Amino acid sequence: MPRLRRLSGAEVVAILLSFGFETVSQRGSHVKLRRVGEAGVHETLHIPLHRELDTGTCRAILRQASRYVSESELRPFFWAD
């Protein structure tokens, strides 16, 4: 059964940057990523830049990012086989 990987905030940001998101701002240990989607809609995600994200936090980020990027594309980055 696949398991959710233990990722750092910087690794998650790098993954999302590869899908066209850009760093908009940072406040403390949280970074705001944004991209302009179809029909000019702003798609925004907030990622904590912690050394290791909790499993629930990774799952929540994956769920939120799946609104903008298909889960099948994100799955190899977040799940270990």
The pLDDT, as a whole number, for residue 38 is: 83
The pLDDT, as a whole number, for residue 66 is: 95
2 found inside a domain? no
35 found inside a domain? yes
23 found inside a domain? yes
Return the structure tokens found at 7. 């990722």
Q: Residue 33 maps to which CATH number?
A: 3.30.920.30
Provide the whole-model pTM.
0.91
Query: In this model, does residue 1 exceed pLDDT 70?
Result: no
Domain that holds residue 38: 7-80
User: Could you report the per-residue pLDDT of 17-76, keeping only the tens digit for each?
Assistant: 999 999 999 999 999 999 998 888 999 999 999 999 999 999 999 999 999 999 999 999
The pLDDT, as a whole number, for residue 61 is: 96
1 found inside a domain? no
- Which residue matches tokens 């999302």? 16
**How many domains does the chain contain in total?**
1
